[in-house]
C-alpha cells in the first residue's frame, strides 16, 4: 500500500498569504523526497526536493521542511499567487537503483484574489 | 529539448478494444516510468523500464496490461480488452541514469465507453 499521504485534501488561501502543505510518510527507509505541482489537465511539475540528511531546503518562494523524527514533510509557499493554484503531491523513494517515486494523494490549493 | 512526449493525448475506446499509449523520454534519459491517475486521486506507480528491460513492474495489473521500451522507438503501454475501470490519465516520466527526479509528460487520457 501507499506509504505517503497528505493531511488535508484541500487548502484555500488569500493571495499574498503564506501556504503550508503537509505530508506524512510511513516508510522509515525513505531518504529522498520531492514536491510536485500539477495544474489541471497537465502532468506533474517538479518544485523542490530534499534528501534525508537535510531538514530544510529553500527555493524561489518555496521551502521544504523534513522532520524525520515524526516522518513529516511540509511545503511552504511564500506570498501565494493565483498561479499557485494546483494540486500538490509529495513523493518519496529509497535512494537506490531500481526504485520508483511513490506519490501521496495530493492537496488542492486554491488561491483567491 | 521537447521534454517527455506522450501520445495520443486523448484516446477513446469501447470495452474489449485495445489501447496503446506511447511515450518518448527526454533526450538523454534512459529510464521510463508509467503512472496511472484516477480522477481526484494521486499517481499510482505501474512500471519502470530501461531500454529493453523491465526493472520493476510491481504496480502493473497481472492481466491485460503490458509495457515495453524497445531499443529503438518510444516506450509503449498496452492495455488489452479494456474495461470501464481502465479509464484514467496515464502519465509517463523519464530520468537520466542514477537520478531521482522524474520529468513527466502531459499524460494520455483514456476513456472507455
The pLDDT tens digits for B56-71 are: 999 999 999 999 999 9
pLDDT band at A3 (very low <50, low <70, confident <90, very high): very low
What percent of chain A clears pLDDT 70, i.e. is strictly above it? 90
Strands A19-25 and A72-77 come out as: antiparallel
Measured between alpha carbons, how far is A3 from B36 in angstroms, rounded to an integer? 17
Closest-approach residue (CA) in chain B for A48? B101
**Distance in Å, alpha carbon of B95 to nearest chain A alpha carbon:** 11
Contacts of A33 in chain B (CB under 8 A): none
Q: Mean of the pLDDT values across residues A1-16? A: 74
CB contacts of B107 in chain A (<8 Å) are 42-43
- Please give the Cα distance from A49 to A95 (Å, whole number): 13
Contact state of A99 with B56 under an 8 Å Cβ cutoff:
yes
A31 → chain B, closest CA residue: B100
Tell me if B100 and A32 make a contact (CB, 8 A cut-off).
Answer: yes
Amino acid at each position: 500500500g501507499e506509504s505517503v499521504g497528505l493531511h488535508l485534501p484541500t487548502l484555500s488561501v488569500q493571495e499574498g498569504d503564506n501556504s503550508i502543505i503537509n505530508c506524512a510518510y510511513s516508510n522509515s527507509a525513505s531518504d529522498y523526497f520531492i514536491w510536485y505541482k500539477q495544474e489541471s489537465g497537465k502532468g506533474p511539475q517538479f518544485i523542490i526536493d530534499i534528501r534525508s540528511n537535510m531538514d530544510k531546503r529553500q527555493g524561489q518562494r518555496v521551502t521544504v521542511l523534513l522532520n524525520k523524527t515524526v516522518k513529516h514533510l511540509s511545503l511552504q509557499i511564500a506570498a501565494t499567487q493565483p498561479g499557485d493554484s494546483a494540486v500538490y503531491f509529495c513523493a518519496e523513494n529509497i535512494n537506490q537503483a531500481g526504485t520508483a517515486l511513490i506519490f501521496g494523494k495530493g492537496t488542492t490549493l486554491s488561491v483567491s484574489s | 529539448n521537447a521534454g517527455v512526449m506522450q501520445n495520443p493525448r486523448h484516446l477513446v475506446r469501447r470495452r474489449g478494444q485495445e489501447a496503446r499509449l506511447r511515450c518518448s523520454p527526454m533526450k538523454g534519459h534512459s529510464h521510463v516510468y508509467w503512472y496511472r491517475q484516477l480522477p481526484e486521486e494521486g499517481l499510482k506507480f505501474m512500471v519502470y523500464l530501461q531500454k529493453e528491460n523491465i526493472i520493476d513492474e510491481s504496480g502493473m495489473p497481472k492481466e491485460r496490461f503490458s509495457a515495453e521500451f524497445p531499443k529503438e522507438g518510444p516506450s509503449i503501454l498496452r492495455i488489452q480488452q479494456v474495461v470501464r475501470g481502465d479509464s484514467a490519465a496515464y502519465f509517463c516520466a523519464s530520468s537520466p541514469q542514477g537520478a531521482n527526479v522524474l520529468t513527466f509528460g502531459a499524460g494520455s487520457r483514456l476513456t472507455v465507453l
